[in-house]
Structure 1
Amino acid sequence: MLKNLKDLKEKHAPKFGIGSSDESASARDRGQDLTTILDRSQRADLTILIAQITESMRNDIQFNFQTPVAQNNDAPAPQSESEKDNGTSRPDQPSDAGKEQDPSTTEKRQMIQYVVKDKKAAASALSHFDDWRDSVLLRVGEVLNRDEESPEETQGSLDAPPLKQDERSINKLREVYQPVETPLFHLPEAKKLLILHSLLLLMLSLEHYNALSRVLMVYVVSSLGLDLKILNDDEVKVARVLLDAALQFSSNGGEQEQVKKGDSSRKWKVGIASVAGAVLIGVTGGLAAPLVAAGLGTVMGGLGLGATAAAGYLGALAGSGVIVGGLFGAYGGKMTGKMMDKYAREVEDFAFIPIHGSQQQKKQQRPVDEKEAARQDHRLRVTIGITGWVTDEENFVVPWRVIGADSEVFALRWELESLMKLGNAISAMVTSAAWGIASKEILSKTIFAQIMSAVFLPLGLLKVARIADNPFSVAKARSDKAGEVLADALINKVQGERPVNLIGYSLGSRVIYSCLLSLAKREAYGLVESVILMGSPIPSNPGHWRRMRSVVSGRLVNVFSENDSVLALLYRTSSLQLGVAGLQRVENLTSVENVDVSELISGHLRYQFLVGRILKIIGLENVDVREVSREEAALAAQDRRQEEERARNERRTGVEGDEQSARRNLETGEGFDEEGQRLEKQVQEKTQKNVVARRFEDMDLKGSQSAGANRKDPFDSDESSSS
């Protein structure tokens, strides 16, 4: 399984400084570490655990590219010579190392032959994975196989406080990330914590924390029987230590090593003049490792991991501000700085809005300071929430406040005018008299079946639905473009070397769909950790989802409702031929999780207010329960407003009371021409009013920025400002 160790050392050692003085320090200088706390047998078990998890991850990638082609009830088809040579195997072979397979699933696989249709993409994905796996196994092996000092001299005691773990959270984690059986599961909690802390630092020593590294860490958590919250907390603490050390070193002056203007490190300095810590990137080549050691000692010393050993595990990352800057995307500046301007030229109003920083500043009635938000909110993971329609600009941000602070959360603002027009159109449609009459039939599935077949729809419903048809078509086309632009931004590492989680609803899901297909086409692996798509106007056929799955290292979740008649109406006709993921399960692809929320989602507009509830159902860690309560209170208020508006529209149209006449009028369209025209005018007026107000706000903002342009920021360097 492992390549020649010498070859791996030559290939990967420069990434994390193997052979450096930190690694040769005595155990007494290092403090306690894996070699002094784990005996030789336990270290062997840890090596085997990492190898088994990575082998299982590789098998999952391989299986995703395999398509069932024929039944074979006798025996599995033999492997071709090419499959043997490149190390691939069919999923009917006993190759899922350490995973507890469902017997029925295994039996089904044994009855099916599989073929790899896109061999080039499969080879590229596996090659990328193998390079990453080699670097991980080498780094772990270098640390675990180092000669330890006498345990009697260095062992000491491991007095970690008892863990408060959520059994439901652990069970959900083990259900999704099936644990690998390991003797390490029975270790004392303190030793398991030390393993987890150490592995996180070793992953960071690779000078990135990509989606594959994050998924590996989650599998380790599951296999050790720990709560994912522990890893999340670790990530927050380590991020804070690295950034605090960098900023402290900057404020103390540090070693002012001038970076040459022609140096390749300048390639990611562009546009970060206003970013916290930019001085480190502009003029500082080094970061004092003792500052990092001191910080890690504070947060991890009580858990048994020596401070110097912790800094040593980080390798070159502990000694370079440039590498720290690259890890965080130039301290987060690429996601909010001038570099995003080029993407805004391709898609109207394309910008990442920091959620937690903006929320805190708005509470204090201050304008959003993206720089300050970046300083406070940096994490080792990035989550991007994407809204699918808006009736107010706040809709871009508010739904994503439910996501906790264990990752750095951004909302993607895109195509304001198109989404505003769509949101107002859908709101007008569902409060119309025609929809009020049709909704009673929709609940009985009578008209819903007509919508799904796109024939013989009531004429009155068509006259009202037309106000949303064109806005939906326009916004759908724009979402595809926005997805391609998002993919380009991720490939260019605006997020730094951190894993990205993508969550979206409605056309926000469509943006993610387009993004993932673009990443797959460009063979950009290891960027995206997990994806959650809700109420998605995208095809449900396995072919599309298999390509999406190829660039998602962790979970890929499809949230759907069979009662979403608005989505069915807007996404009808030819689009329904492949099925709609927001209305049904994605079949024949076991690597996609399907979550049915039909009981919660009786209408498309409800997704905006139920993001938090749905994320809790899915099992997302650290959902803000207070924000969930606010969302649901806002939903109740919206329901009341919609009922009142619908009642007014029924009175205007004259269909109030007499249900039989109302249904007849709905079929013939009598009386609904005027309602359709009135609602269309209302949509235009609301959209124009909000868009004009936004333009005035932009003018005021640009004026204030211009007025403050001459004020020197203490974190800016002359070098960075001139970039």
Structure 2
Amino acid sequence: MTSLFGAAGAGLTGYKMKKRVGAIEEFTFLPLTEGRQLHITIAITGWLASGKYRTFSAPWAALARSHEQYCLAWEAKYLMELGNALETILSGLANMVAQEALKYTVLSGIVAALTWPASLLAVANVIDNPWGVCLHRSAEVGKHLAHILLSRQQGQRPVTLIGFSLGARVIYFCLQEMAQEKDCQGIIEDVVLLGAPVEGEAKHWEPFRKVVCGRIINGYSRGDWLLSFVYRTSSVKLRVAGLQPVQLRDRRVENVDLSSVVSGHLDYAKQMEVILKTVGIPTKPGWDETGLLLAPGNLPQGQHHQAAAASSSDKATPGDNPKLAISTDPSQAQAPTGMDQCEGPSLPAAASPAESAKICSHGMGPNPLGCPDCASETQGPCPGLD
């Protein structure tokens, strides 16, 4: 049992960084669930921010990959500085800069620094320094995580790694470091990288094939203009995995286009439940912030019976929403959770045709970003999503 669950049965919770390792100041595993299982999931957050997302565990409230789940707490001081910088840019420049930047992103993909609007370049120093610091530290944290997993601190149990933004970058460098060791097989089961600020060329992902036994998921958004902006000084030929598919010829590699869900880099935290469902990661039954169980139609397939057990009176039949629906069967299309259902004290009722979400005709064209002119109309203030 000791070798199965780790030293003295403590597993990852028993690990503590006794002294500073290189540039790393903070590295701790925080349990998201109670209990033990023969499979472990480690979730890695990409930034921290004031309000709802000030903790490492906040984005992973819906995660249900296994009964034993952890989130990695790393470099909180620097991730908070980065999160505040991201929010400052988005809130200070508002729609004017965002819409102008989107035009360049659509036309040119990752553009050179000289083509970005002057109003955006004027505040570049707000984000450039904290972003550069976190890029370096995330690489070091990834290498340190690799050595912990190689030492079997978790025992002989397989591990799934899930991360967004700089958390995905941690996973990227973890896999690269593990690939250099002979005993790297049989440790990592699946990996999910969402909005990863890493190199997307296939040759850089090739070593992952011998480390990962199962799925290698790259979730990207073509409309993530903020990720494009922080790479503006790089060559236009640079392929960023968080902006486009990774062209690695392996059936285990899955590229998932999240452009309809993620319109900006901060959406990876805000839309995590929808993203997890989209990439095929199990989630918990839907509970709103008032503690009410959401309608069965809003839950992942296979979890409807959990909702019925918790509330026998819940018979709502939500309307279809093609932008957020995960199932390809129209009869199983899911209604959007979050903004559309965050108000009201009662259980969500069936949506009538008149109340169904309006789809802007501008968003039905080839532009994966939708219609920037209508964004402000469809994203009104909603308590609980700030």
TM-score, length-scaled by structure 2:
0.70
**What SS is found at the alignment partner of 2:244?**
coil
Match 1:603 to one of 242, 251, 264: 264
TM-aligned CA deviation for residue 610 of structure 1: 1.6
TM-aligned CA deviation for residue 632 of structure 1: 5.6
Counterpart of 1:593? 254
Match 2:140 to one of 466, 481, 500: 481
- Cα distance in structure 1, aligned partners of 2:152 and 2:87: 37
Question: Structure 1 residues 448 and 624, CA, compared in 2 at 3 Å: closer, same or farther?
Answer: farther
- Cα distance in structure 2, aligned partners of 1:625 and 1:619: 16
Q: Work out whether 1:465 is the aligned partner of 2:141.
A: no
Contact 1:534 1:607 in 2 (8 A): yes
Question: Structure 1 residues 567 and 636, CA, compared in 2 at 3 Å: closer, same or farther?
Answer: farther
Contact 1:344 1:350 in 2 (8 A): no
**What SS is found at the alignment partner of 1:455?**
helix
Deviation readout 1:204-245 (Å, 9 max, x if unpaired):
xxxxxxxxxxxxxxxxxxxxxxxxxxxxxxxxxxxxxxxxxx
TM-aligned CA deviation for residue 539 of structure 1: 0.8
- Cα distance in structure 2, aligned partners of 1:621 and 1:597: 17
TM-aligned CA deviation for residue 614 of structure 1: 1.3
Counterpart of 2:80? 420
Q: Work out whether 1:390 is the aligned partner of 2:48.
A: yes
Question: Structure 1 residues 504 and 449, CA, compared in 2 at 3 Å: closer, same or farther?
Answer: same
- Cα distance in structure 2, aligned partners of 1:407 and 1:577: 42
Map residues 103-252 of structure 1 onto 2, 5 A cutoff.
none
- Cα distance in structure 2, aligned partners of 1:401 and 1:466: 33
Counterpart of 1:525? 185
Deviation readout 1:94-149 (Å, 9 max, x if unpaired):
xxxxxxxxxxxxxxxxxxxxxxxxxxxxxxxxxxxxxxxxxxxxxxxxxxxxxxxx
TM-aligned CA deviation for residue 403 of structure 1: 1.5
Q: Work out whether 1:325 is the aligned partner of 2:7.
A: no
Match 2:167 to one of 508, 529, 540: 508
Question: Structure 1 residues 602 and 594, CA, compared in 2 at 3 Å: closer, same or farther?
Answer: same
In structure 1, the gaps of 5 or more residues are 1-323, 357-375, 638-723
Question: Structure 1 residues 587 and 579, CA, compared in 2 at 3 Å: closer, same or farther?
Answer: same
- Cα distance in structure 2, aligned partners of 1:418 and 1:383: 24
Q: CA RMSD in A?
A: 2.6
**What SS is found at the alignment partner of 2:197?**
coil
Question: Structure 1 residues 381 and 575, CA, compared in 2 at 3 Å: closer, same or farther?
Answer: farther
**What SS is found at the alignment partner of 2:16?**
helix
TM-aligned CA deviation for residue 407 of structure 1: 3.2
- Cα distance in structure 1, aligned partners of 2:235 and 2:145: 24
Question: Structure 1 residues 446 and 408, CA, compared in 2 at 3 Å: closer, same or farther?
Answer: closer
Contact 2:106 2:223 in 1 (8 A): no
Match 2:197 to one of 534, 537, 540: 537
Deviation readout 1:634-679 (Å, 9 max, x if unpaired):
8999xxxxxxxxxxxxxxxxxxxxxxxxxxxxxxxxxxxxxxxxxx
Question: Structure 1 residues 589 and 532, CA, compared in 2 at 3 Å: closer, same or farther?
Answer: same
**What SS is found at the alignment partner of 1:557?**
strand
Contact 2:41 2:65 in 1 (8 A): no
Question: Structure 1 residues 389 and 408, CA, compared in 2 at 3 Å: closer, same or farther?
Answer: same
- Cα distance in structure 2, aligned partners of 1:632 and 1:424: 26
Residue identity opposite 2:114 in structure 1? V
- Cα distance in structure 2, aligned partners of 1:509 and 1:470: 20
Map residues 552-631 of structure 1 onto 2, 5 A cutoff.
552-574=212-234, 577-591=237-251, 592-626=253-287
- Cα distance in structure 1, aligned partners of 2:88 and 2:194: 22
Residue identity opposite 1:383 in structure 2? T
Counterpart of 2:371? none
- Cα distance in structure 1, aligned partners of 2:235 and 2:74: 24
Counterpart of 1:341? 17
Deviation readout 1:521-557 (Å, 9 max, x if unpaired):
1231111000000001011100011112220000000
Question: Structure 1 residues 588 and 384, CA, compared in 2 at 3 Å: closer, same or farther?
Answer: closer
Residue identity opposite 2:270 in structure 1? F
Question: Structure 1 residues 508 and 575, CA, compared in 2 at 3 Å: closer, same or farther?
Answer: farther
Q: Work out whether 1:491 is the aligned partner of 2:111.
A: no
Q: Which has the higher helix share?
A: 1
Contact 1:438 1:447 in 2 (8 A): no
**What SS is found at the alignment partner of 1:579?**
coil
Map residues 19-30 of structure 1 onto 2, 5 A cutoff.
none
- Cα distance in structure 1, aligned partners of 2:198 and 2:226: 14
Contact 2:100 2:117 in 1 (8 A): no
Residue identity opposite 2:47 in structure 1? W
- Cα distance in structure 2, aligned partners of 1:515 and 1:525: 13
TM-aligned CA deviation for residue 325 of structure 1: 2.1
Question: Structure 1 residues 552 and 438, CA, compared in 2 at 3 Å: closer, same or farther?
Answer: same
Counterpart of 2:59? 399
- Cα distance in structure 2, aligned partners of 1:348 and 1:332: 26
Contact 1:503 1:531 in 2 (8 A): yes
- Cα distance in structure 2, aligned partners of 1:606 and 1:505: 10
Counterpart of 2:366? none
Question: Structure 1 residues 582 and 575, CA, compared in 2 at 3 Å: closer, same or farther?
Answer: farther
TM-aligned CA deviation for residue 465 of structure 1: 2.3
Map residues 423-438 of structure 1 onto 2, 5 A cutoff.
423-433=83-93, 436-438=95-97
In structure 2, the gaps of 5 or more residues are 299-335, 343-386
Map residues 10-89 of structure 1 onto 2, 5 A cutoff.
none
- Cα distance in structure 1, aligned partners of 2:110 and 2:281: 34
TM-aligned CA deviation for residue 447 of structure 1: 7.6
TM-aligned CA deviation for residue 405 of structure 1: 6.6
Counterpart of 1:454? 113
Identity rate of aligned residues, in percent? 39
Match 1:353 to one of 30, 41, 57: 30
Contact 1:387 1:507 in 2 (8 A): yes
- Cα distance in structure 1, aligned partners of 2:152 and 2:288: 30
Question: Structure 1 residues 329 and 561, CA, compared in 2 at 3 Å: closer, same or farther?
Answer: same
- Cα distance in structure 2, aligned partners of 1:575 and 1:508: 24
- Cα distance in structure 1, aligned partners of 2:275 and 2:219: 8
Counterpart of 2:320? none
Question: Structure 1 residues 480 and 565, CA, compared in 2 at 3 Å: closer, same or farther?
Answer: same
- Cα distance in structure 1, aligned partners of 2:71 and 2:240: 25
Structure number with greater Rg is 1
**What SS is found at the alignment partner of 1:452?**
coil
TM-aligned CA deviation for residue 328 of structure 1: 1.0
- Cα distance in structure 1, aligned partners of 2:246 and 2:218: 7
